[in-house]
């Protein structure tokens, strides 16, 4: 059985749907501390789970015969900087609970990492799998901690710990969750709703990005790679890099009236400390990772999904 923590978030929702389809509704237990939508409740198992409550988690692992644990619960980069003590508790203490249970019950454990696990002293153009990691956000520090602890428990106790470092994930069906890359989700809604987007990053801020379907497929593929093929427990995953200006230009092909006002805020400092190009050659070589969506495809799939929701029909979008 697969337990997903933080399953109502940007990645959890999509992975829950993918795994329910792939392994059957009874094999997937979506969990979070919020009330789920009717759709999520009706399409399979959902349970309240607070990763800060060890006993609660332990009961679920035992009673629901969990053997895979996908741990998404965390505060992302920007929101973590505004609530450091909660980020420490959730991203570190919560992770320790999950790590301890995975060891105790021999679970396969997946924890997402991020471009945010690197900092200003890491090489940024490109950033390889193995290099200096001195991130400047509590989110990044907690993700480096998770990578190191997971790797240690793998060596010491044989824990099947796996992690992928993701770029900014672009998705249409979940509201952005306090990340620094979330302008790239919001701009699509603003373009369709008002034609005006206020971007919290400078127009030339280049960041690695990935469309959510590619991100979720990378997890699905990575978790079924035979252990002997893995040279690392944590791999970079990439699809493309672009700036807010690049993205706005592509959207203007379909919504020419789009106007962007650039008003950098505290998230600019975070973005300036992150990779600009992300080297995922390790994942491509060791277990055959490849992305499908580039910037053109990303813009089309996002607008095709969102336009009807805003009552818009766009010309020349095939």
Question: Distance between CA 48 and CA 103 in Å, rounded?
Answer: 22
Closest alpha carbon to 274 in 89, 93, 85, 143 = 143
- Contact letters for ligand VAH, residues 68-107 (x by CB under 6 A): --------xx------------------------------
Beta-bridge partner residues of 198: 261
- Among 19-27, 108-116, 123-131, 195-203, the segment contacting ligand VAH (CB under 6 A): 108-116
Q: Helix H segments across the chain?
A: 10-23, 38-42, 54-63, 77-81, 84-88, 94-104, 138-157, 183-193, 212-222, 244-252, 267-272, 281-287, 295-306
Put residue 178 in one of left, alpha, beta given phi > 0 → left and psi -120 to 50 → alpha: left
- Contact letters for ligand VAH, residues 19-58 (x by CB under 6 A): ----------------------------------------
- Contact letters for ligand VAH, residues 133-162 (x by CB under 6 A): ------x-----------------------
Residue with smaller CB distance to ligand VAH, 142 or 160: 142
- Please check whether residue 317 is in contact with residue 303, taking contact to mean a CB–CB distance below 8 angstroms: yes
Report if residue 205 touches ligand VAH, rule: CB under 6 A.
no
Residues contacting residue 194 through CB under 8 Å, at least 6 positions apart = none
- Contact letters for ligand VAH, residues 248-287 (x by CB under 6 A): ----------------------------------------
116-135: contacts with ligand VAH (CB under 6 A): 116
Report if residue 16 touches ligand VAH, rule: CB under 6 A.
no
In the set 180, 234, 241, 273, which binds ligand VAH (CB under 6 A)? 180
For the CB of residue 165, give the shortest distance to ligand VAH in the complex, in Å: 9
For the CB of residue 145, give the shortest distance to ligand VAH in the complex, in Å: 15
Report if residue 218 touches ligand VAH, rule: CB under 6 A.
no
CA dihedral 311, 179, 93, 140 (to 10 degrees): 150
Question: Distance between CA 27 and CA 67 in Å, rounded?
Answer: 10
Question: Distance between CA 294 and CA 91 in Å, rounded?
Answer: 31
Report if residue 179 touches ligand VAH, rule: CB under 6 A.
yes
- Among 126-134, 177-185, 225-233, 297-305, the segment contacting ligand VAH (CB under 6 A): 177-185
- Please check whether residue 129 is in contact with residue 139, taking contact to mean a CB–CB distance below 8 angstroms: no
Is residue 139 part of the annotated active site? The answer reads yes
Instruction: Please tell me which residue in 23, 46, 105, 139 is annotated as part of the active site.
Output: 139
Report if residue 115 touches ligand VAH, rule: CB under 6 A.
yes
Q: Applying CB under 6 A, what is the total number of residues that bind ligand VAH?
A: 13
Which residue's CB atom is positioned nearest to ligand VAH? Answer: 179
Cα 268–chain centre separation: 19
Question: Distance between CA 12 and CA 28 in Å, rounded?
Answer: 11
Q: Which residues bind ligand VAH (CB under 6 A)?
A: 76-77, 114-116, 139, 166-169, 179-181
Q: Which residues are catalytic?
A: 139
């Amino acid at each position: 059985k697969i337990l997903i923590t933080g399953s109502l978030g940007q990645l959890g929702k999509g992975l829950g749907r993918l795994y329910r389809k792939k392994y059957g509704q009874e094999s997937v237990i979506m969990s979070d501390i919020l009330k789920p939508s009717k759709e999520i409740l009706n399409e399979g198992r959902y349970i309240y789970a607070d990763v800060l409550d060890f006993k609660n988690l332990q009961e679920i692992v035992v009673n629901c015969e969990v053997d895979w644990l996908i741990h998404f619960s965390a505060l992302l980069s920007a929101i973590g900087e505004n609530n450091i003590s909660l980020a420490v508790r959730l991203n570190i203490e919560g992770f320790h609970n999950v790590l301890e249970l995975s060891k105790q019950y021999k679970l396969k454990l997946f924890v997402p990492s991020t471009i945010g696990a690197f900092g200003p002293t890491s090489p940024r153009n490109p950033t390889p799998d193995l290099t200096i990691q001195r991130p400047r956000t509590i989110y990044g520090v907690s993700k480096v901690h998770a990578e190191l602890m997971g790797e240690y428990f793998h060596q010491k106790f044989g824990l099947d710990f796996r992690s992928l470092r993701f770029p900014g994930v672009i998705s249409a069906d979940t509201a952005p969750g306090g990340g620094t890359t979330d302008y790239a989700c919001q701009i699509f809604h603003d373009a369709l709703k008002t034609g005006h987007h206020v971007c919290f990053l400078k127009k030339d801020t280049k960041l690695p990005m990935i469309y959510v379907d590619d991100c979720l497929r990378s997890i699905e593929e990575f978790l079924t790679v035979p252990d002997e093929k893995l040279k690392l427990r944590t791999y970079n995953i990439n699809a493309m890099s672009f700036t807010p200006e690049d993205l706005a230009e592509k959207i203007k092909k379909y919504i020419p009236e789009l106007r962007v006002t650039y008003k950098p805020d505290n998230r600019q400092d975070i973005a300036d400390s992150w990779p600009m190009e992300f080297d995922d050659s390790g994942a491509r070589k060791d277990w055959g990772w490849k992305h499908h969506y580039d910037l053109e495809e990303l813009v089309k799939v996002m607008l095709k999904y969102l336009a009807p929701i805003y009552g818009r029909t766009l010309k020349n979008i095939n």
